[in-house]
Amino acid sequence: MCKSKLRGASIVLDIPLSHNLPEDKVIWVGNKKGNFTIKSAYYIAFNVLETNETGESSKGDPRLPLWRKLWHLKIPAKIRIFAWRACMNALPTKLNLSKRGVNTNVSCPICDEEIETTSHPLISCKYARQVWDNWSENPVNISINNNDILDVAMRIVAEGTTHDLETFFLTTWSIWYIRNQKVFKDSCHLSTQVWNFSRRLSHDFKEASNTFCDKQSLLKEGWSPPPLGMYKVNVDGTTSNDGRPSSIGVIIRNSKGEITAALCMPLSGEYSSLETEAIAVEK
């Protein structure tokens, strides 16, 4: 026996015992009185669970890289939320509704051959597979049987690009949208239409985002005053295509930004934007 163990045993033996030498009894460590209570047991169990959760967090959630990428994807916010719900198995699929007590047929409303889990209509349904066949630059094999949407997303994070992840979630949302059209409106679409719909959705969103950024840049530039002793004239004109007359606006400011003159008036007829601004300058 090593010296440290001998020393420890010696310390234990040196502990003074009570002169009364009462009989041993079980003591509950959950409270100061040593008596078991439901309340004290609850707090012990709560602390154990909290410790376990902290330990798991310190090891790192394997989904963390996916979450970090997901919330920064350049796709509509509703699709980011959909993607998170899909990966958390929180979509109102037939199976999930059944688990929540809804009396419903759990078969897939598209193929009517398998149970509608979260991953089935988006990944493994034969209709979904036809949609995925259009993705020629797919970095992972989505057509593998029993593929889980979370597993596919994490593989794309590991093996693909941010654009690939955007394509994946835009397409899964489009498939889910068409699935809902089938459930609630009994309408059908070709798989190629779903793929083209997701591509158009991506293009329109990015185009709208770029337009917004361009407008923001123009707003940031703002109005700049003229040199000292000079005046700046700003004009604008509005026109419509419904037969209503055009109108013009003129404002003149000095080097301090103070308004020295202004004009706003409707015109007698309908003119183009360029013509209305020219008339405003003339006025």
The 8-class DSSP code of residue 107 comes to B
Residues 163 and 260 reside in one and the same domain: no
Residues 235 and 140 reside in one and the same domain: no
Domain contains 200:
yes
pLDDT confidence of 29, banded at 50, 70, 90?
confident
Cβ burial of 232 (10 Å; 0-12, 13-18, 19+) is middle
Residues 97 and 192 reside in one and the same domain: yes
Nearest 5°: phi and psi at 110? Answer: -90, -55
Q: Is the pLDDT of residue 141 over 80?
A: yes
How far is CA 17 from its chain centroid?
65
Which pLDDT does position 208 carry in this prediction?
A: 82
Taking all residues of the chain, what is their mean pLDDT, rounded to a whole number? 82
Exposure of 165 in the CB half-sphere (CA atoms within 13 A): 27
Residues 201 and 244 reside in one and the same domain: no
Nearest 5°: phi and psi at 131? Answer: -65, -45
> Contact, 283 vs 248, CB < 8 A?
yes
First to last CA, the chain: 108
Domain contains 2:
no
> Contact, 173 vs 79, CB < 8 A?
yes
Domain contains 194:
yes
Residues 115 and 197 reside in one and the same domain: yes
Domain that holds residue 271: 231-282
Q: Is the pLDDT of residue 98 over 80?
A: yes
Q: How far apart are alpha carbons 76 and 29 in whole angstroms?
A: 54
Domain contains 27:
no
Residues 104 and 215 reside in one and the same domain: yes
pLDDT confidence of 57, banded at 50, 70, 90?
very low
Mean pLDDT (whole number) for 267-282: 77
Q: How far apart are alpha carbons 53 and 44 in whole angstroms?
A: 14
pLDDT confidence of 51, banded at 50, 70, 90?
low
The 8-class DSSP code of residue 22 comes to P
Mean pLDDT (whole number) for 9-20: 73
Q: Is the pLDDT of residue 223 over 80?
A: no
Residues 198 and 175 reside in one and the same domain: yes
Mean pLDDT (whole number) for 201-213: 77
Residues 241 and 200 reside in one and the same domain: no
Q: How far apart are alpha carbons 109 and 192 in whole angstroms?
A: 19
Domain contains 254:
yes
Residues 196 and 73 reside in one and the same domain: yes
Q: Is the pLDDT of residue 55 over 90?
A: no
Structural domains in the chain (count):
2
Q: How far apart are alpha carbons 6 and 268 in whole angstroms?
A: 110
Domain contains 30:
no
Residues 153 and 195 reside in one and the same domain: yes
Which pLDDT does position 220 carry in this prediction?
A: 53
Residues 211 and 101 reside in one and the same domain: yes
Which pLDDT does position 110 carry in this prediction?
A: 92
Residues 271 and 160 reside in one and the same domain: no
